Amino acid sequence: MARRSGGREARKALRSAPLSEAIKPVHPGETGGQYRPLSDADVLAIRSNIFRILEEIGFGDATAHCIETCTAVGAIMGNDGRLRMPGHVVENALDLCDRNLVLHGQDPQFDLQIQGQKVHFSTAGAAVMIADYESNAYRDSTAQDLYDMARIVDQCEHIHMYQRTCVLRDVADNYEMDLNTLYGAISGTAKHVGCSWTHYTHLEKSLELLHAVAGSDAAWRARPFVSQSNCFVVPPMKFTEDALECLRVAVEGGMPVLLLSAGQAGATTPACLAGAVSQAWAECLGGLVYLNAIKAGAPAILGTWPFVSDLRTGAMSGGSPEQGLLSAACAQIGNDLNLPFGTACGMTDAKFPDYQAGAERAYTLSAAALAGANIIYESAGMYASLLGTSPESFLMDNDVLGATLRMTRGIEVNDETLSFENIRSVCIGGEGHYLGSDQTLSVMQSEYIYPELSDRDSPNVWEENGKPLILEKAIKRRNEILKNHFPKHISDEIDKKVRAEFPIFLSPEAMGRR
């Protein structure tokens, strides 16, 4: 067998390239489920409570289409105007639903298997401001910001999909805003994209744009690379008309739907966490009943996003420990129901990347990931309880997400990793340490993850390097990406075609095209 590996030049090339799949210490979809905040009895009690809420309390404000479709599968419309779902109706939806969801990227290398207890990370939004560290101020977010953040996420290994991060406040018309949110996001990254729409007619036009980018309706339906984030419910237990119409159009158009229940404990869900988990799941299962009544097996992510109120003010607290705990408990229920599940964790109440931001992001993320949430939305870049987002933060958060995935992966125990022979050979007649052992050499990259931006230098080296702050390194990297990285998975030809048919806000030049 060849022993030589090409010397210095080969090793330098190796170290500057991404790790091969076989060596990478973490992969998208590491298996969680180790953290179980609820006992088995707790899970049973909550599950029974969820079914009882659906059967006895039901939903207000169902649309005519929703009432017609759901009653056709056994839901009951009461004289009090509430749509109730008996247990067998919910069980039936659970039997019909798609449990092996694939979220496609425009590039198949970014396809995500949303199933079992596999864990992935996504951005989400929608921030209305940019936390601009360099000017120490918050400013309105723009179409350029959304596109730029997509390009940054495209370069972050541990952010597996890009759900729109901010509102385009420089695009006044809602139709144009929805359309440009979509086009900015899918132009900036070849990863799976999540967007939301304010009106179903906007979605209908957006589907035409997606067909143009995919090549045809059939090509889009074969690999739908955009999902719809849909707040179909306004907690507590009320449907909302515009979102239900968007949901219907998405299902009919072959677009996966994130069935999103975004209650806030203490305000729109009960202050007791067990009640908040129960209501969030009841709401999501109600959405699942409707979705499967429209089309059995339509792709969906069950999105309980159980936010938290700071009861001193009533304001939302995204960085609270209860946020992590609620998300973990919801993930445990999602695992118990074996449904593709997403939650929201990793945001912070801090205004800029500081101690509070890092700590809140890390402890909430760990809880949700270790509990086995399939997609953790809002896992990067979000500040001020989702009011602000920070482009450079994604680069720092990428390290946190990689570390969280490493913890999720856990420890493999087998004869080789137990290392008895290695311990014996080092201790008896060996060097007395493991630094140079074959095993250390063979696992130095696969067993350990190394941060890209976090600083592990000694104080002396740190001083010699000019005492760099992680934020300064992130801003430098951000500037490099924004200057040089203009993804071209959408060709100039298709871009021209899209621009001829739709009101695209950003100029070709702003998107790196001539």
Partner 1 sequence: MAENQEVEVDDEDIDLSALPDDELVEQMHDDLYDGLREEIVEGTNILLERGWSPEKVLADALVEGMRIVGIDFRDGILFVPEVLLSANAMKGGMGILRPLLVETGAKPVGKMIIGTVKGDIHDIGKNLVSMMMEGAGFEVVDLGINNPVENYLEAIEEHRPDIVGMSALLTTTMPYMKVVIDTMKEQGIRDNYIVLVGGAPLNEEFGEAIGADAYCRDAAMAVETARKLVDAKQAADG
Binding site for partner 1 (CB under 8 A): 1-8, 10-15, 17-23, 432-433, 435-437, 440-441, 444-445, 458-461
Enumerate the β-bridge partners of residue 257.
228, 300
Minimum Å gap between C-beta 1 and partner 1 is 8
Joined tokens for residue 200: 């179903």
| Nearest distance from C-beta of residue 10 to partner 1, angstroms | 5
Burial 120-139 (b: 16+ CB within 10 A, else e): bbbbbbbbbbbbbbeeeebe
The nearer residue to partner 1, 315 or 444, going by C-beta atoms, is: 444
Closer residue to partner 1 (CB): 14 or 222? 14
Which CB, 313 or 460, lies closer to partner 1? 460
- Going by the DSSP 8-state scheme, the letter that residue 186 receives in this structure is H
Find the shortest distance in angstroms from Cβ 152 to partner 1.
18
Q: State the minimum distance, in angstroms, from the CB of residue 426 to partner 1.
A: 12
Q: Is 109 buried (19+), middle (13-18) or exposed (0-12) by CB count in 10 A?
A: exposed
Nearer to partner 1 by Cβ, of 157 and 176: the residue is 157
> Closest distance between partner 1 and the C-beta of residue 483, in Å?
18
Choice between 175 and 434, CB closer to partner 1: 434
Q: Are strands 161-163 and 341-344 parallel, antiparallel or unpaired?
A: unpaired
Assigned token pair, 54: 């659906």
Tokens describing residue 394: 């994604």
Nearer to partner 1, 7 or 466 (CB): 7
Shortest approach of partner 1 to residue 434 CB, angstroms? 9
Closest CB to partner 1 among residues 72, 435: 435
CB of 149 to partner 1, least distance (A): 22
Nearest to 238, CA basis, from 287, 272, 193:
287
| Helix ranges restricted to H, 53-170 | 64-72, 87-96, 143-154
Q: How far is CA 271 from the centre of its chain?
A: 25
Least separation in angstroms between residue 438's CB and partner 1 is 8
CA distances from 318 to 322, 373, 403, 420 (A): 9, 17, 20, 45
- Do residues 346 and 379 make contact, with C-beta atoms less than 8 angstroms apart? yes
Select 158 or 202, whichever has its Cβ closest to partner 1.
158
Q: How far is the CB of 467 from partner 1 (least distance, A)?
A: 14
Which is it for the CA torsion 265, 270, 273, 276, positive or negative?
negative
Spatial contact of 368 and 334, defined as CB atoms under 8 Å apart? no
Report the residue number, 1 or 64, with the smaller CB distance to partner 1. Answer: 1
Which CB atom, from 3 or from 312, has the smaller least distance to partner 1? Answer: 3
SS3 (DSSP) at 138: strand
To the nearest whole angstrom, how small is the minimum distance from the Cβ of residue 223 to partner 1? 24
Kindly provide the b/e burial profile for residues 214-243, where b requires at least 16 CB atoms within 10 angstroms of the residue's own CB: beeeeebeeebbbbbbbbbbbbbbebbeeb
Taking each helix axis from N to C end, the angle separating 143-154 and 174-188, rounded to the nearest 10 degrees, works out to 20
